[in-house]
Amino acid sequence: MLSEKQQNSLTLSRRAFLKGLTGTAAGIGLSQIFNPTLISAMTKGLETHPVLWIQGQGCTGCSVSLLNSVEPTIKKILLEIISLQYHPTVMASEGETALENMYRVAKEYKGKFSLAVEGAIPMAADGKYCISGELNHKEITMLEMTKELGEMAGSVLALGTCASYGGIPAAKGNLTEATSVSGVFKKFGIKTPVVNIPGCPPHPDWIVGSIAHLLTKGIPEVDENGRPLLFFGENIHENCPYLEYFDQDIFSATFTQKKGCRMEIGCKGPDVYADCFKRRWNNGMNWCVENAVCIGCVEPGFPDASSPFYEKA
């Protein structure tokens, strides 16, 4: 159970949380989620639905993307409002104390908490390529932690392309046998539902929106690659503002040539499903195709299927 102090802090901050989420929702077409009935459900969900966030083979870019996004709102959401009980990068606690608390929460909220996994999971050498902590003088590998918590969780969010599909750690060579969450679950027969939120890194709205969906409406509808259709249901190319140039066979030869489709310089948009063209990045300032090309960071084959990034597909 949450302490009285934690409960009070949740109560005090919840208004700001809902306000922040509603703001995000307006921009992402999620406003239908935020009616009074669902807000009430979400409020209840916050008290009963802790989130444990663990990290494996990755660059922590998914956390950074989220924390830097709409500062300070997202940071406030993560640190003060979502019942985030474990996060290796941002939590104040460390070592055995943090791990003990994490396992205590997992036991107390068994079948209810959400596990957020950032980074791939190395399977080679019994998982010894990634040690996530130590309890009672025993190392805990990321593989063990993912299996144990994954079995206890009510749902799992695989955050970023590494956790969703293997990503960069699983690129050609892959000595560590870097594996996605779904890959680990398949191998060990773990049935907990997994929602993939790919992206290198994932857009903060995709993470917040998916957590909001989990709290209010349950597991979102996903495509054949396990991604919420809400965010990954549309093709980049078909919705690209440069499509008119493509249709007229006008192609940019360099990154600074603005009038022209970017296909000749490597754009992978035709094979990519994500809503970056309308959501945009950096608080709506720009998006990849405007400054460079889409490298297909949300697709299961990334990065090998997109390499070289700046060569025509």
Exactly one of 118, 149, 272, 300 binds ligand SF4 (CB under 6 A); that residue is 272
Of the ranges 23-31, 72-80, 184-192, 271-279, which one interacts with ligand SF4 (CB under 6 A)?
Answer: 271-279
Active site residue 261: yes
Strands 114-118 and 51-55: parallel
Q: Which of 148, 139, 136, 142 is nearest to 169 (CA)?
A: 142
Least distance from C-beta 268 to ligand SF4, angstroms?
A: 7
Least distance from C-beta 151 to ligand SF4, angstroms?
A: 31
Helix orientation angle between 204-217 and 61-68, rounded to the nearest 10 degrees: 80
CA end-to-end distance (rounded Å), the chain: 53
The DSSP line for 113-174 is SEEEEESBEE-GGGGTT-EEEEETTEEEEHHHHHHHHHHH-SEEEEEHHHHHH-TGGGSTT-
Given 49, 203, 213, 288, the catalytic residue = 288
The contact pattern for ligand SF4, residues 111-140, with x = CB under 6 A and - = no contact, is ------------------------------
Exactly one of 243, 301, 307, 310 binds ligand SF4 (CB under 6 A); that residue is 243
Given 49, 162, 203, 213, the catalytic residue = 162
Nearer to ligand SF4, 143 or 197 (CB): 197
Q: Please give the C-alpha separations between residue 267 and each of 161, 193, 280, in angstroms, as whole numbers.
A: 18, 33, 16
Site for ligand SF4 in 160-199 (CB under 6 A): 199
Residues annotated catalytic, as ranges? 59, 62, 162, 200, 237, 240, 261, 267, 276, 288, 294, 297
